[in-house]
Amino acid sequence: MSTLEIKDLHVTIEGKEILKGVNLTMKTGEIHAIMGPNGTGKSTLSESIMGNPAYKITQGDVLLDGESLLDKPVDERARLGLFLAMQYPAEIPGVTNAEFIRGAINARRPKEDPISIRKFLKELSKIMNFLDMTDEMAERYLNEGFSGGEKKRNEILQMMMIKPKFAILDEIDSGLDIDALKVVSKGVNEMRGSEFSALIITHYQRLLNYIVPDVVHVMMGGKIVKTGGPELAKKLEDEGYAGLRDELGLDIKLTDENA
């Protein structure tokens, strides 16, 4: 079993403090969800855990099995078992999807022992099939010209091929129709098990009907303000973020709130 621990995390972007002390502990085998209104720092949290150099950590720590990740670059964190399904994956012309995923797998293996091409293609084809992706998606250039839904599916494909210990899914449901949402959820559910943990970041409760979390956190104003079970998500759906804020007596202005 592995543990990912976020301790009193403070993060600044362009001089502005976005995260103001986030605490969160996840163990493999658990699915966590973070819900929260726009502009509350959910994406900042995921990018900071992954190690995006654009985000500056001013205080606190991120620990994997007790070891701090803060001085490790993003590629090393990935090889240690972290994965981030991005909200806006980069497009890379000239590099095929298959070539890229194989590169990612081989980065985790000794140089003299790369995965056999046959074995790789077999596995890739199996998972693409599972995610209702056509074979030609393997030979297309990475994310180039992919629709929003194709990009999200492709993130899940990578996750299933790489098999991380901790996957952060940053608004994997945004811009997805119901069919794509089901496919993406199917992928995450397939990964569920004692060796896998996911942190699902979303605005909406809808996704959590398909991927039922063990723990739900609510984030507002750069902090986790409430933690509970799946019923917390349902309550939010009924009462809204403003309702919860008022109940908790927090002095936070929500971005989308009318003045």
Partner 1 sequence: MTEKIPELGGEYKYGFKDDIKPIYTTGEGLTEEIVRKISEAKNEPEWMLDFRLKAYETYKNLSMPDFGPDLSPLDFEHINYFRRDSEGVARDWDEVPEEIKKTFDRLGVPQAERKYLAGSSAQYESEVVYHNMREDFDKLGIVFMDTDSAVKEYPELVKKYFGKLVSPSDNKMAALNSAVWSGGSFIYVPKNVKVNVPIQSYFRINAGNSGQFERTLIIVDEGASINYVEGCTAPNYSKDSLHAAVVEVYCLKDSYCRYTTIQNWSDNVYSLETKRARALENATMEWVDGNLGSKVTMKYPSVYLDGKGARGTMLSIAFAGKDIDSDTGARMIHNAPNTTSSIVSKSLCKDGGRVDYRGHVRFGRKSDGSFAHVECDTIIMDDKSASDTIPYNEILNGNVSMEHEAKVSKISEEQLYYLMSRGIPEEKATEMIVMGFVEPFTKELPMEYAVELNRLINYQMEGSVG
User: What gap in Å lies between CA 1 and CA 89, rounded to an integer?
Assistant: 29
Note whether 86 binds partner 1 by CB under 8 A. yes
Note whether 94 binds partner 1 by CB under 8 A. yes
The smaller minimum CB distance to partner 1, of residues 59 and 96, is found at 96
Per-residue tokens: 1: 């079993």
Q: Which of 28, 1, 46, 35 has its CA nearest to residue 230?
A: 35
Instruction: Write the binding mask 160 to 179 for partner 1: x where contact by CB under 8 A, - elsewhere.
Output: --x-----------------
Note whether 148 binds partner 1 by CB under 8 A. no
Q: Residue 113, class by beta-carbon neighbours within 10 Å (0-12 exposed, 13-18 middle, 19+ buried)?
A: exposed
The smaller minimum CB distance to partner 1, of residues 120 and 204, is found at 120
Which listed range, 8-16, 80-88, 131-139, 197-205, lies at the site for partner 1 (CB under 8 A)?
80-88
**Using CB under 8 A, which of 50, 180, 181, 216 touches partner 1?**
50
User: What gap in Å lies between CA 3 and CA 30, rounded to an integer?
Assistant: 10
Note whether 89 binds partner 1 by CB under 8 A. yes
Q: Residue 258, class by beta-carbon neighbours within 10 Å (0-12 exposed, 13-18 middle, 19+ buried)?
A: exposed
Note whether 108 binds partner 1 by CB under 8 A. yes
| Residues 19 to 38 in contact with partner 1, rule: CB under 8 A | none
Which listed range, 93-101, 189-197, 206-214, 216-224, lies at the site for partner 1 (CB under 8 A)?
93-101
Closest approach, Cβ 117 to partner 1, in A, equals 16
Q: Residue type for 79, please?
A: R
Give the contacts of 222 (CB within 8 A, at least 6 positions apart). 17, 18, 19, 20, 21, 22, 40, 41
Note whether 141 binds partner 1 by CB under 8 A. yes
Note whether 74 binds partner 1 by CB under 8 A. yes
Per-residue tokens: 231: 């019923």
Closest approach, Cβ 93 to partner 1, in A, equals 6
